[in-house]
Amino acid sequence: MIMAQSSIEWTEMTWNPTTGCDKLSAGCKFCYAEVMTRRLKAMGLEKYSNGFDITIHENELETPYTWKKSRMVFVNSMSDLFHNDVPVEFIQKVFKVIKENPQHVFQILTKRADVLLEYDNKGLLEWTHNIWMGVSVESEKFMERIALLQQTHARTKFLSCEPLIGPLPRMNLKGIDWAIVGGESGRTPRPMQKEWVEDITQQRKLGICLTVRSI
């Protein structure tokens, strides 16, 4: 079991009931989770023995019950909870754990907004007040994810516009509570243009909270 304090500015710690993923879109090119997984596997950590293959960790479902102090928790920093290889029954178990720990806020982020909406439309997800549901939108090509998120019954909705590798003009931000904007990391990151961030700032017509990590 690993409980990790997080260096991610917009959360306090991470919780990974699943690990592993695969590249889905342009923002995945320099996936930090994939790089970190290789390091952790090389260090001999059993949890990462399968490398970056999707792996379910049933034992992690008990972890949030041990936290005494209220926390802001990023769920699956090393995976995507809505990956097609994660059974919906396990996602429901994760949601049940979240429901039974209302003192914490759980931030869930996915690039697979189509899967998210499919499960929501089928009534398979129970949205409690302490779930913040987000989608990654790295360029204009993937803005459809915003519309898919907006159609869900999640009570708090947010966007992760990072790594921002292109402009995001004329976003529909209705019902979006928060947006995170940041550049790419890695040895050869694709540059983020200041103008892209300024444009997003100007689009805050509905008063959403905006977090800019770096320019």
CA atoms within 13 A on the CB side of 134: 24
Q: Which letter does DSSP use for residue 177 in this model?
A: -
Structural domain count of the chain: 1
Q: What is the pLDDT of residue 211?
A: 81
pLDDT at 26: 84
C-alpha angle 165/167/168, rounded to 5°? 115
What is the Cα 64 distance to its own chain's centre?
A: 18
Reduced to 3 states, what is the DSSP secondary structure of residue 194? Answer: helix
pLDDT of amino acid 7: 52
The pLDDT tens digits along the chain (215 residues) read 333 444 566 789 999 999 999 999 888 888 888 889 999 999 999 999 999 999 999 999 999 999 989 999 999 999 999 999 999 999 999 999 999 999 999 999 999 999 999 999 999 999 999 999 999 999 999 999 999 999 999 999 999 999 999 999 999 999 999 999 998 877 788 989 999 999 998 886 556 777 876 54
| pLDDT of res. 145 | 98
Give residue 4's pLDDT.
47
Q: pLDDT at position 5, please? A: 45
Helix (H) or strand (E) holding 55: strand 55-56
The span from the CA of 160 to the CA of 138, in Å, is 8
| Residue that is written with structure tokens 């209220």 in the block | 70
Long-range contacts of residues 36-40, Cβ cutoff 8 Å, at least 24 apart: 36/78, 37/78
- Residues in contact with 126: Cβ distance below 8 Å, sequence separation at least 6, in sequence order: 92, 95, 96, 99
**Containing structural domain, residue 130:** 4-212
What is the Cα–Cα distance from 146 to 3, expressed in whole angstroms? 30
pLDDT confidence of residue 101: 98
| pLDDT at site 3 | 38
